[in-house]
Copies of this chain bind each other. A is one copy, B any other.
């Protein structure tokens, strides 16, 4: 039986999951692929560290460069974390003709253009199913199954930590800090949850997905990314009252002009939209293709085993690629799209909550400023206040370009009757 020599860089949660599941399902993998997947070497930072899963004996090293020099390794699985060392590892692996499998979303989002240029030049495939939405095979679907389609839009709930926190906030009424603490206690948020709650974990995934769908490497610095830290229980309640659930959504939208919107924003999703019912740590990606129509993928977006499932799927593809060269090295640039739409130009409806004085004329002044900007209001909620002094004013705003909405909001905030930080969220369509 053909052996596929694997070098595993990183033996954290996912790395150990790959090792354990390759062991566990070795017989199945042999029968299905005709190959024996053998982890020949594992690189870790600290050989002495205690681990939940025991390091495979005899093949551990604390020198990740050793994987590059090991002639028995044909595939490098990069699950180290960080960016600089993984970039060096991936670069060198490609140069030496070793196939790369990675789950490193930050690496690809920031250096994908360089990595895939090199991969194409050297004709060495780079696989990265585990980098987006854990166990959901969305990369394979977009790259292979839906190859016939122009993607008209993609929406994703692609950060399980944020979705868990928002689910708990919506279902129990707790605030962000309490829900985060609960997520950490349950093992759904890391001790440093920054990249999850500030939106950038989802941002990296959206950049990778959009780049693959549209064939140009999306510049991360121009992508609008907002997190969930500022979402208040009050906004979740108002949203519910209006028939919406607040979700951290990735938006990927192709325009007829060839420009593509890519953003990650907390958004009000109508409860009739299937994405509103994605609860807890689950991820979901809804896409619309010009041939296939609407499709949705749902599953676990993180965790040891689901992510390992995607890495092992990539290993099977790597085995195939080792046997015979492939046309695609993982990302195919093309010329039909190629421009990111500036966030300011994106048109959508909005939810706006303001803290205002509870006195006559306030709504008129705010509506007046919106009207001057050509921005229409579709509905208003102003709950009665107890003290009669300060009130919440919630406005549902018709389709407006984000830039114009933000300018109008600046003028509104300058009014002496408006207090506190306003909350402005995009509103998603019904389906």
Residues of A within 8 A of B (CB): 21-22, 25, 27-29, 31-35, 129, 135-137, 140-141, 144-150, 215, 274, 277, 289-300, 303, 305-306, 308-310, 312-313, 316-317, 319-320, 323-327, 332, 334-336
**20 further contact pairs, Cβ within 8 A, besides A25-B149, A323-B324:** A25-B148, A25-B150, A28-B148, A28-B336, A29-B147, A32-B334, A33-B327, A34-B327, A135-B293, A136-B295, A137-B146, A140-B145, A145-B310, A274-B277, A291-B309, A292-B300, A320-B326, A323-B325, A324-B324, A324-B325
Contact of A147 with B299 at beta-carbon distance under 8 Å, contacts A25-B291, A291-B21, A306-B293 already known: no
State the Cβ distance, A244 to closest chain B Cβ, in Å. 17
B335 contacts A135, C-beta separation under 8 Å: no
A303 — nearest CB in chain B belongs to which residue?
Answer: B293
Question: How many of these chains are in the complex?
Answer: 2
Q: Which of B31, B290, B336 contacts A27 (CB 8 A)?
A: B336
State the Cβ distance, A153 to closest chain B Cβ, in Å. 14
- Complex Cα–Cα for A306 and B292 (A): 4
Q: Which of B27, B294, B308, B316 contacts A291 (CB 8 A)?
A: B308
A304 — nearest CB in chain B belongs to which residue?
Answer: B291
Q: Can you pick out 9 interface pairs between chain A and chain B where the beta carbons lie within 8 Å of each other? A: A21-B148, A28-B150, A31-B334, A31-B335, A129-B145, A137-B144, A140-B140, A146-B313, A320-B326
A145 contacts B313, C-beta separation under 8 Å: yes
Contact of A135 with B292 at beta-carbon distance under 8 Å, contacts A25-B150, A144-B317, A145-B140 already known: yes
Task: Give the residues in chain B near A27, CB-CB below 8 Å.
Answer: 336
- Complex Cα–Cα for A148 and B315 (A): 9
B148 contacts A308, C-beta separation under 8 Å: yes
A334 — nearest CB in chain B belongs to which residue?
Answer: B31
Contact of A144 with B140 at beta-carbon distance under 8 Å, contacts A31-B335, A295-B135 already known: yes
A316 contacts B147, C-beta separation under 8 Å: yes
Q: Which of B35, B293, B308 contacts A305 (CB 8 A)?
A: B293
State the Cβ distance, A80 to closest chain B Cβ, in Å. 21
A332 — nearest CB in chain B belongs to which residue?
Answer: B32
- Complex Cα–Cα for A57 and B313 (A): 43
Task: Give the residues in chain B near A334, CB-CB below 8 Å.
Answer: 28, 31-32
A25 contacts B290, C-beta separation under 8 Å: yes
- Complex Cα–Cα for A323 and B306 (A): 32
Task: Give the residues in chain B near A317, CB-CB below 8 Å.
Answer: 144
A137 contacts B145, C-beta separation under 8 Å: yes
- Complex Cα–Cα for A334 and B126 (A): 29
- Complex Cα–Cα for A292 and B137 (A): 10
A283 — nearest CB in chain B belongs to which residue?
Answer: B295
State the Cβ distance, A331 to closest chain B Cβ, in Å. 11
